[in-house]
Amino acid sequence: MVDVGGIFGVILMGFLSDKFNKKTMFLSPSMILSAIDMFLVAFTLSDLVWPYYLTIFLTGSFFNGPYKLIGTIITLDIGNRIK
């Protein structure tokens, strides 16, 4: 579920960063939401199956989205410097 959420998160993060033309605006909120989701998984959702899968999905989307976006920003920056 982390990988499935990561695919969704990468697409959503790329769409939002292109729509608002600000690549780094969504990094901090997404990482904070990822930390909250990881806290929920670690301490509260150990017995419940479907909320656990949903939370793992959200953790993957909130974590992998910024991770891939940072790699994209670095690649674009390096490409713009080489002329």
> How far is C-alpha 76 from the chain's CA centre?
19
| Res 73 pLDDT > 70 | yes
Mean pLDDT, residues 44-53 taken together: 77
Residue 20 has pLDDT above 80, yes or no: yes
Q: What is the pLDDT of residue 52?
A: 82
DSSP string, 28-68: HHHHHHHHHHHHHHHHT-SS-SHHHHHHHHHHHHHHHHHHH
Band of residue 83 on the pLDDT scale cut at 50, 70, 90? low
In the prediction, which pLDDT does 46 show? 66
Question: How many whole angstroms separate alpha carbon 61 and alpha carbon 12?
Answer: 9
pTM to 2 decimal places? 0.72
d(CA 60, CA 74): 21
> Roughly how many angstroms between the first and final C-alpha of the chain, as a whole number?
41
